Amino acid sequence: MTRRATTLLLTGVLTGVLTALLCALAAAPAGATGYRYWSFWERTGGGWAYATQGPATSRPADGSVQGFRFAVSEDSADASRPRGAASFAEVCAGTPAREGSKRVALVIDFGTAADAPEGETPPAARTACARVAGDASTAEALAAAAKPLRYDTNALLCAIADYPKRGCGEQVAGTAERKPAAAQNKDQGDEGDGPRLAWYAGAAAVAALAAAAVWQSRRNRHD
């Protein structure tokens, strides 16, 4: 095979790869599937961190801030944070310390109309200061401040303060079209575009290689 033929073959291969990559990038978000559920967060420093354990096993200390957000999310990386920046001092300002108990600040964000089950309207976000026993879990603090709670047979938290009235972690198709969670989290200090940037970087790299191959092909014609 001549050098020119090899270069042309490489150009065709790279162009095909580039086309496939860009098509995948454009198509993937539209077909994304997520779940409608309550996510659990812990406030650390100046921001929210996705909790590493469930509210039933989490044992927050006095002065902790715990958050819950109802939304449609693909996974924990895509999950929407509770909105607002309420601090423990703000939420529990009227609840003095008491020996033998602890205070847990709760931020409860019922989400947006776009994420609500059909026929339901999310209540306004609320905060509450729960005074509970020193060894109480986050779930117990939540029960003390935002009844009624609803759980499924697998102990998954389905509803807070009776919202939503039905459903529990159901699958929802087309989440990318419904809710720009990554953009919202970025506004709250989270850079959630890593996977997308990686795709664009890959596409740019393939495009550069294809352009180089085309340039080499044209150069060979004049040699």
Sole residue written with tokens 């715990």: 66
Q: Residue 58: how many CB atoms within 10 A of its CB? A: 18
Residue 18: the pLDDT is 41
Q: What is the pTM of this model?
A: 0.68
Nearest to 106 by CA among 143, 57, 73: 143
Measured CA to CA, the distance from residue 128 to residue 106 in angstroms comes to 5
- Residue 128: pLDDT over 90: yes
Q: Is the pLDDT of residue 182 over 50?
A: no
Q: With contact defined as beta carbons under 8 Å apart, do 114 and 135 qualify? A: no
Q: What is the pLDDT of residue 135?
A: 97
- For the chain, give the percent of residues with pLDDT over 90: 57
pLDDT, one tens digit per residue, over 131-157 is 999 999 999 999 999 999 999 999 999
Strand partners, 103: 131
Q: Which helix (H) or strand (E) holds 186?
A: helix 181-187
pLDDT at position 216:
54
Q: Could you tell me which residues come within 8 angstroms of residue 45 by beta carbon, excluding any fewer than 6 positions away? A: none
Q: What is the mean pLDDT of residues 182-190?
A: 47
Per-residue pLDDT band at 115 (split at 50, 70, 90): very high
User: How is residue 165 annotated by DSSP?
Assistant: S
User: Cα(92)–Cα(66) distance, rounded to whole angstroms?
Assistant: 12
pLDDT band at 77; cut points 50, 70, 90: confident
Report DSSP state, residue 204.
H
84 pLDDT tier (thresholds 50, 70, 90): confident
Are 214 and 11 contacting, i.e. CB atoms less than 8 angstroms apart?
A: yes
DSSP state of 74: S
Return d(Cα 191, Cα 172) in angstroms, integer. 24
